[in-house]
């Protein structure tokens, strides 16, 4: 009997975590157009934790849109800014920068206690939402 109640609570928590307190947004710099030259983007090797687990997914989206991903910062035209941050408020941010200026910025946030209780699921969901928004933003330019 106690196991059934616990399972119901966990299931309800998972459902609510997926459905409440989530927001995803993007911002594209006005007049943003990529030049015809090689579109190389620096992606650091020094991501840790959840960001380290998911940075490859972001890199694949960049490659899908014609970017050449490199680990050589000096020879890159663009820079990937990727971060997963938070405790009870979880924020996944993806930015594409050129010479320190953000060209594309995407954020996906979840505010709810489920982000603490069910962190791997919350992170995976917010990363997926941020990547979808980043993909759409790259498609617009």
Domain boundaries in the chain? 2-140
DSSP helix/strand/coil, 11: helix
CB 104 within 8 A of CB 26: yes
CB 38 within 8 A of CB 59: no
pLDDT for residue 13 is more than 90: no
pTM of the model: 0.79
Mark out the alpha helices in 34-113 (DSSP H runs): 49-64
Mean per-residue pLDDT, 82-107: 92
φ, ψ dihedrals at 110, nearest 5°: -130, 125
Beta bridge partners of 68: 40
Q: Using CA atoms, how far apart are residues 122 and 125, in angstroms rounded to an integer?
A: 5
Q: Which fold has domain 2-140?
A: Double Stranded RNA Binding Domain (3.30.160)
pLDDT for residue 18 is more than 80: no
Please report the pLDDT score of residue 17 as a whole number. 46
Average pLDDT of the residues of the chain: 83
Mean per-residue pLDDT, 102-131: 88
**Local confidence band at 33 (pLDDT 50, 70, 90 cut-offs):** low
């Amino acid at each position: 009997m106690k196991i059934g109640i616990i399972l119901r609570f966990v299931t309800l928590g998972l459902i609510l975590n997926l459905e409440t307190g989530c927001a995803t947004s993007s911002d594209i710099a006005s007049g943003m157009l990529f030049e015809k030259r090689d579109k190389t983007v620096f992606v650091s090797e020094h991501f840790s934790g959840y960001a380290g687990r998911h940075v490859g997914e972001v890199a694949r989206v960049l490659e899908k849109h014609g970017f050449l991903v490199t680990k050589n910062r000096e020879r890159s035209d663009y820079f990937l800014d990727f971060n997963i941050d938070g405790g009870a408020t979880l924020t996944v941010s993806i930015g594409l920068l050129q010479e320190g200026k953000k060209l594309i910025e995407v954020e996906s946030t979840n505010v709810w206690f489920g982000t603490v209780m069910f962190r791997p699921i919350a992170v995976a969901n917010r990363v997926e939402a941020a990547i979808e928004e980043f993909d759409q933003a790259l498609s617009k330019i």
